[in-house]
Amino acid sequence: MSMCPRLLALAASALLLAACGGEQEQQAPPPPEVGVLTVQPSTVPMTKDMVGRLAPYRSADVRARVPGVVQRRVYEEGSDVNEGDVLFVIDPAPFQADLSAAQASLAQAEANAANARSMAERARRLAPENFISRSDLDNALAAERSATAAVQAARASVESARINLGYATVRAPISGRAGKQEVTEGALVGQGTATLLTTVDQIDPLYVNFSLSLAELEDLRGRQLDSDGRVVVEVLLQDGSVYPHAGEVDFSGDVVDPATGAVSLRATLPNPDRRLLPGAYVTLKATMGQQPGLYLVPQGALQRDPAGGYLMVVGQDGMVARRDVTVDRAQDGQWVVSQGLSPGDQVIVSGLQRVRADAPAVAVPWQPDTAGQGPAAPTAEGDAATAPDGAGGAAATGAAGGDGGAGPRDAHGDAAGAAAREAAAPADSQD
């Protein structure tokens, strides 16, 4: 009979344990914490990534303008030269001789002109007294005019000979970088054609030639961008870095190329350190203007399903809602959203796996440096409660019941039953 109080105590403990289990089961799990970004509309630069080709700002072919034999090359190939610097010397002897002959002809013409002028003056004095005929006067005046014209022709010949002599010294037509020589010393040049000697390219600044398709051009016009007419161009280098000197578009074609369906554009790009070279293809980022009323969200916040892209937001009531959005483009690691968001929306960036639509959530400010980590991990009970489409039930069942699949109520029920059986066993044995 001494076992009765013990049996009663065990039974009471079992009943109390079962009651506590049911009370714990009725308690709802706390809402999960999610990292949110409060978005506001902003003015976003409209940029386009394109491929362009560099070209010299000015390029001049240096050619032989007179025939002759190249005596020497003065410049160093690949060096920078200034306008007027000597590049080549062609044998000047023939041109010096031509100049001397022209100067002699000029002296002869000037002497003849002086004689004709004296005869004309004499005829003018004698004509009023009828000492010479009218015909002799006319001949004297004509001879004077002819001699004067001969002097002018002789002077032109001298100037031409002097110019040809100057052409024998080949000079840089522009400032820039001189290329390799196309002929060597001793070569005969300028026979019938103007022989190419070298090329001088001005590479500071540079031109960047690129194009826009007609569809892209119409799209830009339809966006009604805020712009002052300037289109800024940045060049991306091979290592992915941005070239420190930005350029600006200075030419836009008004004719569509029928072969490509594109419109040609050209930008001027500073190149003070000569880092960029003509002829190279480069990746461009062109800022076409500013587009207002857009939202920027991190790329990890956007989700997609067959219906399209959407974002999860936390409302003022603390409930999670789905927002179908229109994504305009990706820019600088963020999505540019043009439709679907409102000012002040709290977009969920981290913790998306723990929320579902129409469920509560606790919004905490999202920190970019902890992106991907999210808020502190909730308990298994919270994960189970917030898992979508019944996944929480499976998680809770697996956590509580193990392989047996029993829930919390079954676990407490089994404990109570085991205690009752343990209490009843001694009584049966006593009986």
CATH number at residue 119: 1.10.287.470
Report helix, strand or coil for 320: strand
Q: What is the pLDDT of residue 11?
A: 58
Query: pLDDT by residue (tens digit) across 366-375?
Result: 988 644 444 4
Distance CA 181, CA 193 (A): 17
Q: Examine the pLDDT at 23 and tell me if it is beyond 80.
A: no
Angstrom distances, CA of residue 296 to CA of 49, 100, 178, 412: 18, 79, 49, 51
Angstrom distances, CA of residue 239 to CA of 55, 236, 243, 286: 21, 8, 10, 19
CATH number at residue 246: 2.40.30.170
For 298, the enclosing helix (H) or strand (E) is strand 281-298
- Answer yes or no: is 192 within a domain: no
Total-model pTM: 0.65
- Answer yes or no: is 308 within a domain: yes
**Enclosing domain of residue 249:** 47-56+200-292
Mean pLDDT of all residues in the chain?
83
CATH number at residue 351: 2.40.420.20
- Answer yes or no: is 126 within a domain: yes
> Measuring CA to CA, which residue among 213, 258, 217, 211 is closest to residue 233?
211
Report helix, strand or coil for 368: helix
Query: pLDDT by residue (tens digit) across 335-394?
Result: 999 999 999 999 999 999 999 999 999 999 998 864 444 444 333 333 333 333 333 333
> Measuring CA to CA, which residue among 353, 369, 356 is closest to residue 314?
356
The answer on 140 and 127 residing in a single domain is: yes
Domain edge (last residue) among 119, 142, 167? 167
The answer on 308 and 267 residing in a single domain is: no
The answer on 144 and 206 residing in a single domain is: no
Structure tokens given for 347 = 């977009």
The answer on 156 and 121 residing in a single domain is: yes
Distance CA 220, CA 13 (A): 77
Residue type, 326: T
Query: pLDDT by residue (tens digit) across 205-229?
Result: 999 999 999 888 888 877 767 766 6
The answer on 360 and 325 residing in a single domain is: yes
Domain edge (last residue) among 148, 167, 186? 167
Total domain count, the chain: 3
Distance CA 107, CA 109 (A): 5
The answer on 149 and 104 residing in a single domain is: yes
Domain edge (last residue) among 125, 149, 167? 167
The answer on 300 and 286 residing in a single domain is: no
